[in-house]
A = this chain, B = another copy of it.
Amino acid sequence: MTRPIQRPAAQALGRHVLLELYQCPVELLKAGNELEGFLKAAAERMGATVVTSNFHQFSPYGISGVVIIQESHLTLHTWPEHQYAAVDIFTCGEIDLQAGIEHLIQVFQAETADWKLYERGKGL
């Protein structure tokens, strides 16, 4: 599940990871406080600095949340009914994305996961 991160070309300003977490435990994807902790812990593992966070619980279930880091952001949306969580990590700094991705796959207990890295600001 781990592959080396391809660094973007020198001209890209940021890196943006879209991470798909499948077959996660249903109850876990409803636990807002725990999930907020997961994202903050991932930020720390990457060496990022947390600025602020904001999580929202939908009715009857499903969590949307964001952690703004000094290096940009992490966001999360969960669909317990699909055992699915969507994460994205945007960074303009020299942080360890791979450590964050591996941590999230582990704590979300995802049976399968997929992620892609995109460059941002390539047109500069």
| Chain A residues at the B interface, C-beta cutoff of 8 Å | 13-14, 16, 18, 20, 22, 51-52, 54, 56, 58, 64-66, 68, 70, 72-73, 75, 77, 79, 82, 84, 86, 88, 90, 92, 112, 114, 116, 118, 120-124
CB neighbours (8 Å) of A66 from chain B are 54, 66, 68, 73, 75
> Main SS of chain A's interface residues?
strand
Chain multiplicity (copies):
2
- Asked if B54 and A77 make an inter-chain contact with CB atoms under 8 angstroms apart, the answer reads no
B64 x A68 contact (CB < 8 A): yes
Q: Which of B68, B72, B124 is in CB contact (< 8 Å) with A22?
A: B124
| Cα separation A91 to B86 with both chains bound (whole Å) | 11
